[in-house]
Amino acid sequence: MKVLGLIGSPRVDGNTTKLVNAILEGAAENGAEVRAYNLSKLDINPCEGCTNCRTEGKCVIDDDMQQLYEEVQAADAVVLGSPLYMWEITAQTKLFVDRLVALLNPDLSSRLKVPKKLVLAYTQGAPDPDAFKHYFAHLEGLFSFMNFDVKGSIVAAGTYTPEDILQQPEILAQAKEIGKNM
């Protein structure tokens, strides 16, 4: 089983990386082959809205997203992590999400070759983990529509400094468990 981790925080050693890594660690302990990328380190350009992907079957922008399309297609499971920035996923994460439009056919059916499990992982400064639950449900809806098999969302709340999540061993343990069960 191949698990792909995608981290949308520009702080490469921050809380989101630690949260996603805990999930990947759990998956690896159960024999999965894991791989992770930080989206902010990749050259991912905004979707140009050319809609060529509808007819061509693939995105025409020549950047690192081409590799990620292959990685997503090759994976059995994806872990997408983002901090909350201004009540939403980061711009780096949104660039990736917008470009997933190339995985839709003209009739909006999915081009995903096999169903892929998906776990969404968030970190946020707000201490209440339910503060953005409607937004997280909205994103789960989007990925279900994209034909991902959404396994759920995990939220580490109250994280500000890059090390804050280390004070929440229960969340890291929960993340590891999610990875083991993938």
Can you give the binding site for ligand FMN, defined by CB under 6 A?
A: 9, 11, 14-16, 83-87, 123-126, 159-160, 162
Distances (CA, A) of 72 to 77, 79, 102, 164, 167: 8, 10, 12, 30, 32
Nearer to ligand FMN, 61 or 119 (CB): 119
Nearer to ligand FMN, 43 or 128 (CB): 128
Closest CA to 18 of 129, 161, 141: 161
Nearer to ligand FMN, 71 or 162 (CB): 162
Nearer to ligand FMN, 94 or 111 (CB): 94
Q: How far is Cα 159 from Cα 125, in angstroms, rounded to an integer?
A: 5
Q: How far is Cα 4 from Cα 77, in angstroms, rounded to an integer?
A: 6
Residue nearest to ligand FMN (CB): 14
Quote the least distance from Cβ 93 to ligand FMN, whole Å.
11
Q: How far is Cα 149 from Cα 69, in angstroms, rounded to an integer?
A: 17
Q: What is the DSSP string of 59-78?
A: ----STHHHHHHHHHH-SEE
Quote the least distance from Cβ 23 to ligand FMN, whole Å.
14
Quote the least distance from Cβ 136 to ligand FMN, whole Å.
12
Quote the least distance from Cβ 157 to ligand FMN, whole Å.
7
Closest CA to 154 of 11, 24, 10, 12: 24
Quote the least distance from Cβ 42 to ligand FMN, whole Å.
16
Nearer to ligand FMN, 166 or 173 (CB): 166
